[in-house]
Amino acid sequence: MAGGVRPLRGLRALCRVLLFLSEFCILSGGEQSQALAQSIKDPGPTRTFTVVPRAAESTEIPPYVMKCPSNGLCSRLPADCIDCTTNFSCVYGKPVTFDCAVKPSVTCVDQDFKSQKNFIINMTCRFCWQLPETDYECTNSTSCMTVSCPRQRYPANCTVRDHVHCLGNRTFPKMLYCNWTGGYKWSTALALSITLGGFGADRFYLGQWREGLGKLFSFGGLGIWTLIDVLLIGVGYVGPADGSLYI
């Protein structure tokens, strides 16, 4: 009987130890879960990081590059493709040399086909507005009278051609004579004046319908008006009604 009681006591002691260990694990686990829950509720001071965007590299092509031939001679580049150190104290009409450099994104070569950035350009010392008329283009006006006395002028804006080099502004105002045409032929007007002038055909052709009606109903002013118109159209004094020139 005593031998059966001892194993039973040992089993009870073992059960108590296991029960104690299980309670201890439960308590320690609860404290950890509470600490974890507390850390979730109160995460503490947070750190903020500012992401600085990287500057985008400019890939835009300057507008003047479209006028600049690639790998051409530097001395033949248009004026919009180069920057030159000019000297306004040069003698007008005399040859002069200036130091020039190509603008960014422009490539050119020298006489030996070697890449070049700085070069010398030869030109004549004169301002852009002093160039001959063949070296610049101007705006046209269709609102002025070309056939008038004195001859009329109109204000125009002129721009120097790309491959012409000069001093000063490449765009300038200038007063020009009215020289536009509406498509009327001098030979046609003269032929009508000689053949059908008595019926006012010449005046109708030139757009002067009032004078044409006057000649038609007066039979060319009994021939006198017809002869006068032949002379006036022949010398170019009578022109189109819109004020344009003959072609």
Alpha-carbon separation of residue 95 from 39, 43, 121 (angstroms): 87, 82, 11
Give the pLDDT confidence score for residue 10 in this predicted structure: 66
Q: Distance (Å, rounded) from C-alpha 33 to C-alpha 41?
A: 12
Question: Average pLDDT, stretch 123-144?
Answer: 88
pLDDT over 60 at 47, yes or no: no
Beta strand extents in 2-144 (DSSP E only) = 72-73, 82-85, 95-102, 108-109, 118-124, 136-138
Is the bond into 150 cis (omega within 30 degrees of 0)? yes
Give the pLDDT confidence score for residue 188 in this predicted structure: 92
Q: What is the pLDDT of residues 174-193, one digit of tens each?
A: 998 887 777 888 899 999 99
The SS3 assignment for 136 reads strand
Lowest-pLDDT range of 14-18, 158-162, 166-170: 14-18
Q: Closest Cα partner for 190 from 171, 203, 180?
A: 203
Give the pLDDT confidence score for residue 136 in this predicted structure: 93
pLDDT over 70 at 150, yes or no: yes
Give the pLDDT confidence score for residue 146 in this predicted structure: 72
Average pLDDT, the chain: 79
- 38 pLDDT band, cuts 50/70/90, is low
Burial class, 38, CB count within 10 angstroms (exposed 0-12 / middle 13-18 / buried 19+): exposed
- 1 pLDDT band, cuts 50/70/90, is very low
Give the pLDDT confidence score for residue 2 in this predicted structure: 46
The SS3 assignment for 93 reads coil
Q: Closest Cα partner for 189 from 222, 238, 244?
A: 238
- 112 pLDDT band, cuts 50/70/90, is confident
Give the predicted TM-score (pTM) of the model. 0.52
pLDDT over 60 at 68, yes or no: yes
Residue scoring higher pLDDT (217 or 8) = 217
Give the pLDDT confidence score for residue 141 in this predicted structure: 79
189 close to 235: Cβ distance less than 8 angstroms: no
Give the CA dihedral 169, 171, 174, 179, nearest 10 degrees: 150
Torsion region of 183: left, alpha or beta (phi above 0 gives left; psi -120 to 50 gives alpha): left
